[in-house]
Amino acid sequence: MGDVSVEFMLGVVQAEATKLFVANGLRPSFVGRVEPRLVLTTEVLSAIDFAGERTAGLLVLGMAPSLLWRSHPAGGGSAADLADWLNELANMLLGRVKLALMDYRCPIQAGTPTTIVAEDLGLSGSAAGLVMLAFKDGSEAIHVAVCQALP
């Protein structure tokens, strides 16, 4: 089998992200791909790397703190609790992606999530390397960025 294409990976990420958000009390609607060079404002981000024989990269999950509060199993808490929760969501998302890829004989290993909190943060990358998927829950945005490289 060949390497995992960016399009295939994005389809898996979109499907699994939607299921994860719904399972955690959010009402996501998929907006589409958005310009990866946009500036994310007042978002909390979690980044987690992955690697396997046929694909490798980085998954970044970002959402407004209000969505983290709403989806938190205990109803929120401190800023540190919300950061931990976002890391858990990113970890669960990559776990779901990992299981989906196993059906295609494409095992991956996941790294440890890292939290980034910023007022204004720009993500940039080559058009082929970084793709950002946008979801909306009401007026709040959820972003899932995938930077995929072949190992």
Report all structural domains of the chain as residue ranges with CATH numbers, in order of start: 6-149 (3.40.1550.10)
CA-closest candidate to residue 92, choices 26, 3, 5: 26
| pLDDT above 60 (res 129) | yes
- Cα dihedral sign for 14, 115, 37, 136? positive
What global pTM score does this model have? 0.89
Taking only the tens place, the pLDDT of each residue in 27-80 is: 999 999 887 655 555 567 899 999 998 888 999 999 888 899 999 998 777 888
Question: What are the percentages of helix, strand and coil residues in the chain, rounded to 5?
Answer: 30, 40, 30
pLDDT interval class at 147 (50, 70, 90): confident
Q: How far apart are the first and last CA of the chain?
A: 14
